[in-house]
Amino acid sequence: MSHHKQIINRLEQVKCLLLDDMPIDSDLVEVLDIHLKTILEITPEQETIQLNSSPGSVIRIWSDGACTGNPGPGGWGTIIIVDGNIQELSGRSQRTTNNIMEMTGALEGIKRTPEGSSIILTSDSQYLVKGMTQWLKNWKKKGWKKADGNEVLNRDLWMKLDQESQKRNIQWIWIKGHAGHPENERCDELARKAITRR
């Protein structure tokens, strides 16, 4: 049984014990049910679990980010497919930018794969894909400065992405957003739902 299911089972037991030890209060029952529903909405896929792949298999990662205002509340969504098994992840930040959420979605997916993995990572963020495939090398050579001499924005995330990517073989692919790619659309949905999650 997963850690997530164990927590839910334990909470159900606590609810039953509370209701057994006191007169039935419809308001209390409603409050308990709301809290349990909230926990159930935090799906098992959001747990931090390490994915394992068969030797020679390629892991597919799709990621996306969204922001309400820029900066503003933001969310990220990621799908990982390993040997036919699908894991969905999402998260939020109260004050962030769209680019940070795009980068975070990719980073969170990569971190959940074993070192040495072969990965195809697909994103609709040109900022992310060009950063990892075209700009990163020169930024590092120039001490994390851009061509105009200014500091690279989001340097901490670029460094984390670089560090994790060096441990894996990653092919970065850009696709146009909202163009009918099911996985991309799902990542967008996960990211937008995460923004409103409390």
Active site residues: 64-65, 102, 124, 178, 188
Question: Does residue 108 sit in helix, strand or coil?
Answer: helix
DSSP class of residue 37 equals H
- Strands 169-174 and 58-67, sheet pairing: unpaired
Q: Which of 131, 37, 47 is nearest to 90 (CA)?
A: 47
Helix ranges restricted to H, the chain: 3-20, 26-41, 98-111, 126-130, 136-141, 155-165, 182-196
